Amino acid sequence: MNKAEQIYFLDSLAGILIRCFFLTVLLLAVWFVLFWLAGDFIYDVHSYWFDMDWYDYNLVFYYGMAFVKLFAFVVFLFPYIAIRLVIRKKL
């Protein structure tokens, strides 16, 4: 694999990573809007299935959002930045 093929591969990989990051941010935005607009309905459904009060419901949702956000940064954004720095150094 020559230098041009390596740069093309890394550029393609960086494009995939940034798209995945933006899709994850979109997922978080939709999650927040649903939580904001239909939070009571979602709580009613979940409290029917599981024995949880309002505090536990909020705790699960906010921890879930924090986990997804952390996952997006660690798995998608940081490798994207690292690949872009490698590409810049190779040029």
The pTM of the full predicted model, rounded to 2 decimals, is: 0.87
CA distance 43 to 54: 7
Question: Which tens digit of pLDDT belongs to each residue from 15-74?
Answer: 999 999 999 999 999 999 999 999 999 999 988 999 899 999 999 999 999 999 999 999
CA distance 91 to 86: 9
What 1-4 contacts at long range (C-beta under 8 Å, 24+ apart), as own/partner pairs, is 3/90
Q: Quick one: pLDDT at residue 48? A: 92
Q: Where are the domains of the chain?
A: 3-90
CA distance 18 to 49: 37
